[in-house]
Amino acid sequence: MMWSSVDFSAINALWSFLALFFLVAFCAYKISPLLPRRFEACRVYILFQDLIRYGKTKQSLKRDDWLRVFDIPKRWFWHFYAISVGWNGLLLVLYLNFIIQHQAYPLWLTGMLDILTGVPGNDSQGRLKENWVLLLSLVPQLSTVLVQLLLWVHSFRRLLECLFVSVFSYGAMHLVQYMFGLGYYIMLGLTVLCCDRMEKGLKSSTLLTQLDWRQIAGFVLFIWASLLQHQSMVLLARLRTGKSGAVETLAHRVPKGGLFELVSCPHYFAELLIYVSFSFVFRGLCLTWWLVVLYVLFNQALAGQLCHDLYISKYKSYPSHRRAFIPFVL
């Protein structure tokens, strides 16, 4: 969507709501230590903590047995990326067929994009095939292809890391978090196509002539952030493995090395940078994707603060200069 033509589409409303929700959750968590001690036994307070925590940050939470029924193994994180690889790979193929073979989207996909964007596609209006050529000259094809490709690469790398690098303990996440994670990557791929549908006004050009410095900068940032995240995941895994690579312990230890010297969760910071890089690939013009970035910022800020506070409470000698997930800021 162009900044000059802001409307309140369903997709923008969705990401605005999610960003606001996690901002409120972050603020609520930050002020929770100021509440009287009796609130810690309140069911609403416990349910709130149960829904925002996962993995090691959930293990110390005192919960009723009925809440544990909804626990899902955290190691099932790989399901999210498996879904993303399959789904976003399919959307990439459909989009390439759309811009290269001039094949219309399936009706189910067209209908979903119509609802989410409020911008009817030419295919849903039943126009002549010649109008597809006109439509193709108006959409930012290169940006969309690059974001779809980079999103698929990101998901595939994270899938491999979950399966072959990370060493998961017996930590858990809530069933709600699990269902949200499954739907998240489905909606993320649709959001890329929504950005493509709503951003009009480009002059007719080939894919290569659409390339500019912002897309190159976004690609470079994506590579750097991906390497940073991978390095962080390797350092976390080494806390539980020996020199041979075999798992020696599932205990939690203080991470060291790399950007861990500045923040407690550099992998969360890298995740934010990856989504910012997608905005650069969209040339900074897609308001919808900036709303996604806002959501990722507040979501990762909450998760990072939970980990940071756990480290501080558990290790008395934890470095005081470290921030939660953004160096020198948060």
H or E stretch including 300?
helix 287-314
Of the candidates 77, 89, 99, the residue with the CA atom closest to the CA atom of residue 153: 89
| Dihedral sign for Cα atoms in the order 159, 161, 164, 169 | negative
Query: Residue 320 has which token pair?
Result: 């005081």
Question: Mind listing the pLDDT tens digit for each residue in 197-224?
Answer: 887 544 446 677 788 899 999 999 999 9
Give yes or no for a contact between 122 and 135, defined as CB atoms under 8 angstroms apart.
Answer: yes
**What span, in angstroms and rounded, lies between the C-alpha atoms of 299 and 136?**
35
Residue-wise pLDDT tens digits, 34-81: 888 888 888 888 999 999 999 999 988 888 888 899 999 999 999 999
pLDDT one-digit tens code per residue, 74-122:
999 999 999 999 999 999 999 999 988 889 999 999 999 999 998 776 5
Query: Which residues make Cβ contacts (< 8 Å) with residue 205, sequence separation at least 6?
Result: 137
CB-facing half-sphere around the CA of 84: CA atoms within 13 A: 27
Check the CA dihedral 325-16-86-91 and report its sign: negative
In DSSP terms, 174 is beta-bridged to: 71
